[in-house]
């Protein structure tokens, strides 16, 4: 019986992650079947519907979006490092572990910034 608590916790996390994607997929599928039925009947599809269906389509990342993501990751890492510095006033051994944890997002951010220089998609859309 005690196993139900951790199972419920992980089931909740899985539901939070999976259910929105499933609902979005179902909504898209219903929209596509409605459009298919309208096309089969010979009706014209309004441009607004096509725009609504394609507005959430992922585009290739641009150099600008890579730089933005890199700066955000670097800021998160620096924030973790500053938090470790401030915590070290109360707990002497907190600085180095927090700096180590903060180094991970900083390195991810630096990777994004470096990738932005090699990104062939130099557009301004993010």
Spatial distance between the Cα atoms of 126 and 112, rounded to a whole number of angstroms: 14
Spatial distance between the Cα atoms of 67 and 74, rounded to a whole number of angstroms: 10
Domain chopping of the chain, boundaries: 4-54, 63-118
**Going residue by residue through the chain (126 aa), what tens digit of pLDDT does each one get?**
788 888 999 999 999 999 999 998 898 888 888 888 888 888 887 787 777 777 766 777 888 999 999 999 999 999 999 999 999 999 988 899 999 999 999 999 999 999 999 888 776 544
The greatest distance separating any two alpha carbons of the chain, rounded to the nearest whole angstrom, comes to 74
Nearest 5°: the CA angle 116, 121, 126 is: 75
Helix (H, G, I), strand (E, B) or coil at 60: coil
Rg (CA), the chain: 23
Model pTM score: 0.58
């Amino acid at each position: 019986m005690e196993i139900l608590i951790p199972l419920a916790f992980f089931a909740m996390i899985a539901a939070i992650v999976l259910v929105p994607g499933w609902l979005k997929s179902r909504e898209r599928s219903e929209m596509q079947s409605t459009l298919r039925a309208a096309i089969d009947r010979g009706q014209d599809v309004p441009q607004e519907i096509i725009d609504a269906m394609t507005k959430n389509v992922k585009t290739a990342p641009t150099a600008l979006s890579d730089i933005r993501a890199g700066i955000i990751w670097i800021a998160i890492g620096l924030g973790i490092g500053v938090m470790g510095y401030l915590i070290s006033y109360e707990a002497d051994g907190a600085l180095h572990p927090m700096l180590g944890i903060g180094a991970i997002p900083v390195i991810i951010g630096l990777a994004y910034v470096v990738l932005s220089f090699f990104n062939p998609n130099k557009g301004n859309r993010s």
